[in-house]
């Protein structure tokens, strides 16, 4: 998809200058800083930070371990609940979760304990002689997992720990899912995502088969027949459409496709970079796209959203990152027309100004035009319809474009489970996907041992 921009020039920044633009957004704590920060924690009984954590990490306990200089103990406590705790420490929106709940927000300090950075400190400095989790006696059961993203990897690790063998089918060349292909390069730097995957797989009992795609060379029906259970960690791989004429023109592409190319690029100077760019959207992906294209050398970047700032799904912290990187943010404007030049390439967008009328978004009839050499869509992802095209998959219940599951992540089909971004309900957070995979693994393990459970036929 990056071919859509091949007619654009490359960045004018040197490789060294570019590398400086994609170092850690939040530099790690030093040992001294971590000690001081850990000492600020009150180690609350029934700590609100723990209660709000989607993966149920005992926050007060791991911070106390840091304070007591027991780094391995802190890391073990985190990983026991969240095997991808290293990436979550970097990408989790702590500002609306654990740190927002921290009691330090409500006294004269007015600043929460830096929980995310402390979690990163513990995991970055742990030194285990061997994998911290050992496998239970083998059950003889083999579970298929589709998707090597956070949900699938978490599910695989917990199933392996419980004594099951696991085969993961992954369409892409690398495991990691969103962590490898979809997170801003300045949030997960270098090869961290792959090192975390390698650590997870080191428990044993997990085989990953890359280049296997559900709906292409793999069907749900054959997986169901060959394995004791199937977990679908499909993610949301299809970019939503604007529904406008010219949407397929050169210069208009999905933000996630560009972010993926950026993360996999061995030489950032080879990436096509527009002088003027528009990003359409209001979530973290939109912010990631806008900030990264600006850091690559785009002179003018405008993020456009059809509603107001308060309705944006990107947190205020993310919005501040965009502002700090000189991204122009234009609200109350909905895409109306793709503007093309004589060669049929994007030259800008026309937007209709919007407003709320009795709580309903309506157009005002007034239009604005923004010039751009490229437009990036970040208006959400949906489930790839082709993945669930076989007759058995068609029997899965849906809620909108997501798979419906019960509290144990069972689908309507016996022996088929699902979790992560592809299921409803959900917040599309990495940390929540990890929790889905972990909880689903326990349900799968129990069900395949007992052949009992609400979704299993009598």
Condensed to tens digits (0 to 9), the pLDDT of residues 370-417 reads 999 999 999 998 888 888 888 898 899 988 889 999 999 999 999 999
Residue 289's pLDDT is 98
Q: Strands, DSSP E only, in 248-313?
A: 252-254, 276-281, 300-304
Q: Are 415 and 266 in contact (CB under 8 A)?
A: no
The better pLDDT of the pair 287, 424 is held by: 287
What is the fold, at CATH topology level, of the domain defined by 142-237+383-450? FAD/NAD(P)-binding domain (3.50.50)
Give which of 412, 409, 415 is closest to 440, Cα–Cα: 409
**Angle (nearest 5°) at CA 14 between 11 and 16:** 130
Q: Are strands 346-357 and 360-371 parallel, antiparallel or unpaired?
A: antiparallel
- Out of 25-34, 244-253, 425-434, which region has the weakest mean confidence (pLDDT)? 425-434
- Backbone dihedral region for residue 163 (phi beyond 0: left; psi -120 to 50: alpha; all else: beta): left
Task: Label residue 426 by pLDDT band (50, 70, 90).
Answer: low
Mean pLDDT computed over 164-189 = 96
Q: Are 251 and 288 in contact (CB under 8 A)?
A: no
2-22+239-380 and 142-237+383-450 share one CATH topology?
yes
Task: Label residue 453 by pLDDT band (50, 70, 90).
Answer: very low
- pLDDT above 70 coverage of the chain, percent: 97
Calculate the alpha carbon distances from 238 to 63, 262, 377, 383 in Å: 39, 19, 12, 6
CATH 3.40.50.300 for domain 2-22+239-380: no
Residue 1's pLDDT is 56
**Strand-pair partners of 304:** 280, 330
Domain boundaries, the chain: 2-22+239-380, 41-125, 142-237+383-450
Mean pLDDT computed over 169-188 = 95
CATH 1.20.1250.20 for domain 41-125: no
Residue 450's pLDDT is 85
Residue 417's pLDDT is 97
Per-residue pLDDT reduced to its tens digit, 40-90: 999 998 999 999 999 999 999 999 999 999 999 999 999 999 999 999 999
Whether the ω angle into residue 425 lies within 30 degrees of 0, i.e. cis, is: yes
């Amino acid at each position: 998809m990056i071919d859509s921009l091949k007619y654009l020039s490359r960045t004018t920044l040197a490789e060294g200058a570019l590398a400086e633009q994609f170092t850690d957004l939040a530099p790690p704590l030093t040992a001294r800083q971590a000690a001081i920060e850990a000492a600020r924690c009150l180690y609350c009984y029934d700590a609100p930070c723990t209660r709000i954590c989607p993966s149920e990490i005992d926050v007060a306990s791991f911070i106390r371990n840091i304070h007591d200089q027991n780094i391995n103990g802190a890391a073990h406590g985190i990983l026991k609940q969240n095997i991808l705790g290293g990436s979550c420490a970097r990408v989790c929106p702590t500002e609306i979760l654990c740190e927002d709940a921290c009691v330090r927000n409500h006294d004269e300090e007015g600043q929460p304990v830096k929980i995310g950075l402390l979690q990163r400190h513990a995991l970055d400095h742990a030194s285990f002689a061997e994998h911290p989790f050992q496998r239970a006696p083998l059950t003889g059961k083999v579970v298929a997992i589709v998707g090597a993203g956070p949900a699938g990897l978490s599910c695989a690790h917990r199933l392996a720990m419980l004594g099951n063998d696991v085969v993961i089918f992954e369409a892409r060349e690398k495991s990691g899912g969103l962590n490898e292909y979809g997170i801003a390069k300045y949030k997960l730097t270098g090869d961290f995502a792959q090192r975390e995957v390698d650590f997870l797989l080191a428990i044993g009992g997990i085989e990953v088969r890359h280049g296997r795609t559900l709906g292409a060379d793999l069907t749900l029906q054959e997986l169901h027949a060959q394995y004791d259970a199937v977990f679908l960690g499909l993610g949301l791989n299809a970019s939503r459409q604007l529904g406008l004429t010219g949407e397929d023109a050169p210069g208009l592409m999905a933000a996630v496709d560009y972010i993926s190319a950026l993360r996999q690029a061995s030489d950032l100077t080879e990436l096509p970079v527009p002088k003027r760019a528009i990003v359409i959207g209001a979530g973290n992906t939109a912010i990631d796209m806008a900030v990264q294209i600006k850091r690559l050398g785009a002179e003018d970047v405008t993020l456009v959203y059809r509603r107001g700032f308060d309705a944006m799904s990107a947190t205020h912290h993310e919005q501040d990152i965009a502002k700090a990187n000189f991204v122009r943010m234009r609200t109350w404007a909905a895409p109306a027309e793709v503007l093309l030049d004589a060669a049929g390439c994007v030259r800008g967008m026309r937007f209709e100004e919007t407003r709320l009328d009795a709580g309903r978004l309506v157009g005002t009839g007034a239009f604005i035009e923004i010039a751009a050499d490229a437009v990036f869509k970040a208006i959400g992802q949906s489930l790839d319809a082709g993945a669930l095209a076989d007759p058995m998959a068609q029997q899965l219940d849906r809620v909108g474009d997501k798979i419906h599951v019960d509290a144990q992540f069972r689908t309507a089909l016996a022996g088929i489970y699902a979790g992560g971004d592809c299921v409803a309900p959900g917040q599309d957070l990495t940390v929540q996907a990890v929790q889905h995979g972990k909880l689903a693994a326990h349900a799968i393990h129990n069900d395949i041992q007992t052949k009992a459970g609400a979704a299993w036929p009598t």
